Amino acid sequence: MPVANLKEFLNTNGVPHITISHPKAYTAMEVAQAAHVEGKEMAKTVVVNLDGRLAMAVLPATQHVDLDRLRKGTGAHSVALAQEWEFQADFPECEVGAMPPFGNLYGMEVFVEPRLAADQEIAFNAGSHTELVRMTYKDFDRLVHPKLVPM
């Protein structure tokens, strides 16, 4: 979903937000630094395979996904990081690795690390490696209805 479509979705739902352009960056921590956002407020979207279905794990850029904790928290029998070829077609408008954490728009469940939910605001990739969106976590929760799972 390019930033224009994401902005339209947020505007349609009455969500105040800002778009931040930054130099090209690929890892969540590089994006946070380039956009001058605290790493704990930068939401990293990781696509995972839970018992054969794709889902999003969303956590602070400063953290790595603990697959065992995610498995326990979701009740899944098997959890693995999804390979790009498994999900690339699901995000045709997005650059690989820059998917926004709106799994509800892509038919995917979203699991959020509680530490990210504790912040008043979050920022996340907006479909490209040069733009991110910043908004309140409260509005993100209202639109996405993620499940809080320690990971």
pLDDT, tens digit, 9 for 90 and up, residues 44-99 = 999 999 999 999 999 999 999 999 999 999 999 999 999 999 998 998 888 988 99
pLDDT tens for 65-79 read 999 999 999 999 999
0.95 surpassed by pTM: no
For residues 12 and 41, which has the higher predicted lDDT (pLDDT)? Answer: 12
Model confidence at 3, pLDDT cuts 50, 70, 90, reads low
CA 117 distance to own-chain centroid: 12
Picking from 19, 47, 48, 44, the residue whose alpha carbon sits closest to that of residue 31 is 44
CA distance 66 to 52: 18
Domains of the chain: residue spans and CATH? 3-148 (3.90.960.10)
Asked whether residue 1 carries a pLDDT value surpassing 70, the answer given is no
pLDDT tens for 92-134 read 888 988 999 999 988 999 999 999 999 899 999 989 999 999 9
Q: Please enumerate in sequence order all residues whose Cβ is within 8 A of that of 34, keeping only pairs 6 or more positions apart, or say none.
A: 22, 23, 24, 25
Mean pLDDT of 29-50: 89
20: left (phi over 0), alpha (psi -120 to 50) or beta: beta
Q: What is the pLDDT of residue 6?
A: 84
Q: What is the pLDDT of residue 2?
A: 53
